[in-house]
Structure 1
Amino acid sequence: MTKNIGGIDRIIRAVLGAALILWALIGGPVWTWIGIVPLATAAIGWCPPYAIFGIKTCKMKQ
């Protein structure tokens, strides 16, 4: 798996995922646990839908 998520994309995913999980922990709806997905993809730097559609937001190494 090559990384396909760039820096800003990773930060946005991490913040959004953490916010959703925090909301779930303080009594939000059950669907807020979906925050695990963006948090995990930010942590590993790879997103399956990006791979399927050929999207890359990370800079290419030269």
Structure 2
Amino acid sequence: MVPSKNVGGADRVLRGVLGTWLVVVAVAAYLDDKRLTAATAAVAGAGLLQNAATGFCGGNALFGIDTTSDDSCSLD
């Protein structure tokens, strides 16, 4: 079963930007020997980038949130 998209518009762009920023934070923290901060930021960043790439968020599905009807910034 393929989950339907529930992330779109500005929400999707914001997740991509924040995900990228968190990956950069993870690399900087790793280089500064802050392993726990690096791991936390890397996991959060990867999750947000996955949401942005696939257009699906499990949390949104759980709470019944659908931002795909937001046409303010469509990537499709």
Band the TM-score falls in, shorter-chain normalisation? 0.7 to 0.9
CA offset at residue 26 of structure 1?
Answer: 2.2
Aligned to 1:18: 20
Aligned to 1:45: 55
Give the root-mean-square deviation of aligned CA atoms: 1.6
TM-score (norm 1): 0.85
Q: Which of structure 1's runs of 4+ aligned residues deviate more than 6 A?
A: none
TM-score (norm 2): 0.71
* AA partner of residue 32 (structure 1): A
Aligned to 1:55: 65
* Count of aligned positions: 60
Structure 2 regions of 5+ residues with no counterpart?
A: 31-36, 71-76
Structure 1 regions of 5+ residues with no counterpart?
A: none
Question: Alignment identity in percent?
Answer: 38
